[in-house]
Amino acid sequence: MRLQPDWTALGVLAEPTVLLVTGSLFAVELLADKVPWVDSAWDALHTLVRPIGGALLALRALGHLDPTVEVVALLLLGSVTLTTHAAKASLRLLVNLSPEPVSNVIVSLAENGVLVGTVWLALAHPLIALGAGTLGLGGAAWLVWALGRRVARAVRARRGRSAPAVGAGTGPVAR
């Protein structure tokens, strides 16, 4: 596999060992994403792997940097990859709350389609892909925020239902 001269830092991705490991993980993910709750367990296992791996790959693509710039870039890239992972994991958790199992397969196939489309767009029209990725990241951040609020509201409601009711004969007596 030959890469463009400015992408040679990513040549390690063409190594047979890397291809074997990433291909195996992809095959497991392809199957795990179709099974309710298995997909969420898989996402939980990858809460560290995806953000750190994504940040390191992106940093590698940037080449040799000043150490200060490298640390800042790593923090920013880690934040971006963590946001996208959190959006995916949150969406899958939400889908798992659906009573029927077909939604997992539909969402997984839609994710696969978006992946193929995004890769094509990045190769054919990089600037459009950058804009779409920026919009997607903003949407992912909003999704994580909105789902977090929804989960917090559900937890508060559940705590409210399980708390002892305050009624006649309870609480301090006013005299």
Comparing C-alpha atoms, which of 15, 76, 70, 72 is closest to residue 51?
A: 76
Tens digits of per-residue pLDDT, 94-119?
888 877 778 888 888 998 899 899 99
Six-digit token pair at 56? Answer: 């390191």
Q: Around 165, how many Cα atoms within 13 Å sit in the side-chain half-sphere?
A: 4
pLDDT in tens, 113-142: 998 999 999 999 999 999 998 998 898 889
Which of 158, 14, 33 lies closest to 104, judged by CA? 33
pLDDT digits (tens, 9 = 90+) for 12-25: 888 999 999 999 99
pTM for the structure as a whole: 0.66
Q: Report the pLDDT averaged over residues 40-67.
A: 89
DSSP string, 149-166: HHHHHHHHHHHHHHSPPP
Name the CA dihedral angle for 35, 29, 87, 132, rounded to a multiple of 10 degrees: -130
CA distance 35 to 104: 7
